[in-house]
Structures are given as structure tokens and as C-alpha cells.
Amino acid sequence: MRSSIPVVAEVLERCKDELIDVGVMLGKTTPDHLDATVPAMDLKLRSAYQVADACRRLETLLRPPRPGQYDPAALLRGLSGQLPVHAPDPGIEVERMDLYVGDAAQVLECVRLVLRNFQVEAQGRLQVLATARDGRGRIVFSLGSSGEAPGVFDLDGVYLFDLEELRGRWHAATHGGVVEVSPGTLTLYLEGDAEVPLPTQPYDVRREAALVSLTRRLRPWRGAIGDYEPGHAAPEEVIELYRKTVAAALEDAGRAVGLTGAAQAST
């Protein structure tokens, strides 16, 4: 397995740069000119959130699994609200399913990774079925006989998983599940007969915690559109909110970068 650590380090530096830019803008901002600076700061913070969240999700996928019981039907039903607003709306059919054993967070990220990349190929033709027919729980992504399943899976421009890497991550997340590919279709089976050990890379729970904290701080800006409506709060309060957010986010990002650098040095 390729190490993701250099990738994460580089992307986190981009996140820090966006935050530093906002800090510079704040230094030049006055209460009388928020309408000129807030939209630009919002777009910078949205960009910082996007790259930080992608790093967090990559960290989730590559950390050691934490198995427990989860409901794949509920997971898939809740996924629709987490998809990009510009993506074609897939046809999702979810049947009643039993509980399965696996790492629910990793299962969610694997499914989201596959779904987003299928949507790129789909052009509105994607069908998703979660079923336990024939006694085998599975999630099926289908483009029809004329479609072609993706060969690589892009995690928001941060990391590319090839099919074998996806198979390995899914196998670990589901405690043995397999991935099958046929023309126009990819099937994620929720359980299997055996679990194959995966290569590991340096993992630090503190790095994961820093990434979680960073994305939570920036989450209010994930849907920012670069607009400002005065009157919701006093200008001085708005400036203070941005200052506190940027200072805390830079601290989280710096901590994550430092721990990522330490992990890179140990490899």
C-alpha cells in the first residue's frame, strides 16, 4: 500500500495557507468594510474546510479498523444528504437488512467514495441497491450494460485509490467483505469468509483528533457562497468570530501537520 502521509502533509499545508490568507484579510478589515472582505474570507474558509475534511476522511479509511455492529441500510439512507449538490441524484433502493459487523465509519467512507466516483461516470444513469437477497448482504452500484465502472476512485483530489486498494480497504472495513466488478456494475459484499491482514502505516490518534477538530471548526463554511448580509450581528462581533475561528483552526492544522511530519520521518 502506498503511504498517504506525504499527500496529507502537502494538503494540510494548503489548508494552512488558506487560513493564513484569511488572517491577513482580517488584519486589513474594518467594521465599515465587511461587505468587501467577508465574501472572500468565506470562500477561503470553505476551501480550507474541503481539504481538511478530505484529509480527515482519508485518515478514517487508512487507520486500523474499529469493528462493531452497524446497520448498512440506515447508513445508506443517511448518505444522500452528504453528496455534492452538483452531482446527479442516484436512484437508491434500500431493502431491510440485518446488522453486520465492521467499522461503520470506514464502511461509510468506502461507500461514499464509490458512489461519488460512479456519479462522475453516470450522467444520471446510476442505480444503487442495498439488499440481502439470497442471504448475502451487498450494495450494488449499476450503470447498466452500456456503462463502465470506474477503475480509480478519487477522494476529492487528495488521494487516488486503485481497485485493488479499494478492495483492501473494504475487506478491512467489513471484516472480510469482497468487491466484485462486472461490466457497468460494482458490488460491495458486506461479509466474507476470511480477513486478510493489510499493510499498515504510521497512525497517531492525536493526528486524527486534530483533523476532526479542524473540520468541525470549519464546518459552518462548507456551503459558503461568497455572500454577506449585514445586520445579523454587530460588525465587531463578526470580526471577532472570524479571528477566533482562524486562530483555533490554525492551531488544529499546525498540530495535525506536526504529527504528520513526525509520522513521515518515522517511515
- Residue 26 maps to a domain: yes
Give ∠ CA 97-195-139 in degrees, rounded to 5.
30
**What does the pLDDT read at residue 190?**
95
Q: Look at residues 160, 189, 218 and tell me which one is the last residue of a structural domain.
A: 189
Are 178 and 229 within one domain?
no
Q: How far apart are CA 203 and CA 61, in angstroms?
A: 12
**What does the pLDDT read at residue 188?**
96
**What does the pLDDT read at residue 264?**
53
Secondary structure (3-state) at 90: coil
Q: Look at residues 189, 210, 227 and tell me which one is the last residue of a structural domain.
A: 189
For residues 155-185, one letter each, b for 16 or more C-beta atoms within 10 angstroms of the residue's C-beta and e for the rest, the string is bbebbebeeebbbbbbbbbbbbbbbebeebb
Q: Residue 93: enclosing H or E segment and its boundaries?
A: strand 91-94
Q: How far apart are CA 91 and CA 217, in angstroms?
A: 33
Residue identified by cell 446510476 is 126
- Residue 140 maps to a domain: yes
Are 25 and 137 within one domain?
no
Are 127 and 157 within one domain?
yes
- Residue 260 maps to a domain: yes
229: domain range?
5-62+201-266
Are 26 and 51 within one domain?
yes
DSSP notation for 210-254: HHHHHHHHHGGGTT--S---TTSS-HHHHHHHHHHHHHHHHHHHH
Q: Residue 131: enclosing H or E segment and its boundaries?
A: strand 127-131
Per-residue pLDDT of the chain (267 residues; tens, 9 = 90+): 555 666 778 888 889 999 999 999 999 999 888 888 999 999 999 999 999 999 999 989 988 899 899 999 888 887 765 554 444 456 788 888 899 999 999 999 999 999 988 877 666 578 888 999 888 899 999 987 667 888 899 998 889 999 999 999 999 999 899 999 988 899 999 988 665 666 556 678 888 899 999 999 999 999 888 777 777 788 899 999 999 999 999 999 999 888 765 555 555
CB-hemisphere CA count at 13 Å for 184?
Answer: 10
Q: Look at residues 189, 214, 238 and tell me which one is the last residue of a structural domain.
A: 189
- Residue 195 maps to a domain: no
Q: How far apart are CA 239 and CA 228, in angstroms?
A: 13
We report the CATH number of the domain holding residue 183 as 3.30.565.10
Are 247 and 143 within one domain?
no
Q: What is the DSSP letter of 41?
A: H
**What does the pLDDT read at residue 82?**
55
Number of domains in the chain: 2
Measured in residues, the chain has a length of 267
User: What is the pTM for the complete model shown?
Assistant: 0.84
**What does the pLDDT read at residue 121?**
66
